[in-house]
Amino acid sequence: MGVGINAMPVTFVAHALALIAAIMMLVWSISFRGGFAWEATNKNLIFNLHPFLMLVGFIILGGEAIISYKSLPLEKPVKKLIHLVLHAIALALGILGICAAFKNQNECNFSNLSSLHSWIGIGVISLYGFQWLYSFGLFFYPGGSSNLRSGLLPWHAILGLFVFVLAVGNAALGFLENLTFMENEGLDEFGNEAYLVNFMAIVTILFGASVVLTVSAKSESTSSPSVDDDSNYSYSAI
């Protein structure tokens, strides 16, 4: 699988968009929303952990893990380990981000799982966890046979890309839901914060697109791949 462009320049675009999105999230969370806390009388500080961890921890680290096979000039075993570890961190931070949302909802006496965003979010984190666990056993330890790995690798990759795209789409839905809620509470829909949230959503979508384009582009290597060459399927979410 590959489009007629080199993957390496696109990875630079992905890294830049990831950095911009992370900075925008920090500015929004600290300058506009008051920062972060796990225990606080201002429950909004608890909720602020949710979008921060889901974007920076889950989507950005997950995206970087996906493109690691094409963005890092390292030996395949090293890239495979980095790929695995980055996804493990992304999964852990994603779970923590969802816990922050539940904690905020419970302490504010709001109902849980009452929106499409929350439903999709639970589905995404569940698929991500399933993908990581079976992939660890199949590709890392104890490892499956060569025929089993080569047979399941394309499906592993397709599921990985599907989960990532779904996560990015759900993040955009979350930005919309949060902004709508804030505007109903009196936020100026043409104010600086509203513009920041909207542009942050756009940058997140562009980051997701750059990840998909990176893994669809051609690697610099022109050698014939083996049947178990993970670099052919670097759009996997593990």
With beta carbons less than 8 A apart as the criterion, state whether 238 and 132 touch: yes
Residue 167, pLDDT above cutoff 90: yes
At residue 221, the pLDDT reads 54
Which is higher by pLDDT, 236 or 18?
18
Which is higher by pLDDT, 88 or 148?
88
At residue 208, the pLDDT reads 97
Residue 46, pLDDT above cutoff 80: yes
Identify the CA nearest to 167 among candidates 204, 131, 202, 134: 204
- Cross-strand pairs, 217: 3
- Tell me the average pLDDT across 182-210: 96
CATH code of domain 3-219+226-233: 1.20.120.1770
At residue 32, the pLDDT reads 96
Give the pair of three-digit tokens for residue 68. 């690691």
- Cross-strand pairs, 6: 218
Which range, 135-144, 178-187, 217-226, has the best average confidence (pLDDT)? 178-187
**Domain range annotation of the chain:** 3-219+226-233
Residue 140, pLDDT above cutoff 80: yes
Distance of CA 161 to the CA centre of its chain: 11
Instruction: Quote the Cα angle for 172-16-213, to 5°.
Output: 65
With beta carbons less than 8 A apart as the criterion, state whether 235 and 223 touch: no
Residue 229, pLDDT above cutoff 70: no
- Tell me the average pLDDT across 75-85: 91
**Which three-class secondary structure state does DSSP give residue 148?**
helix
Instruction: Quote the Cα angle for 61-65-68, to 5°.
Output: 130
- The Cα–Cα gap between 62 and 52 comes to 14
Which is higher by pLDDT, 132 or 2?
132
| Strands 3-6, 217-218: pairing kind | parallel
At residue 3, the pLDDT reads 66
At residue 226, the pLDDT reads 44
Residue 14, pLDDT above cutoff 50: yes
Q: How confident is the model at residue 141 (pLDDT cuts 50, 70, 90)?
A: confident
Q: How confident is the model at residue 129 (pLDDT cuts 50, 70, 90)?
A: very high
Quick one: what percent of the chain has pLDDT higher than 70?
90
CA max distance for the chain: 60
**Which three-class secondary structure state does DSSP give residue 238?**
coil
Torsion of CA 38, 44, 49, 52, to 10 degrees: -160
Which helix (H) or strand (E) element contains residue 18?
A: helix 7-27
Q: Residue 62, CB half-sphere, CA atoms under 13 Å: how many?
A: 35
Give the pair of three-digit tokens for residue 206. 């562009």
At residue 143, the pLDDT reads 84
Give one word for 109, left, alpha or beta, with left for phi > 0 and alpha for psi -120 to 50.
Answer: left
**Phi, psi for 169 (deg, rounded to 5):** -60, -40
At residue 2, the pLDDT reads 57
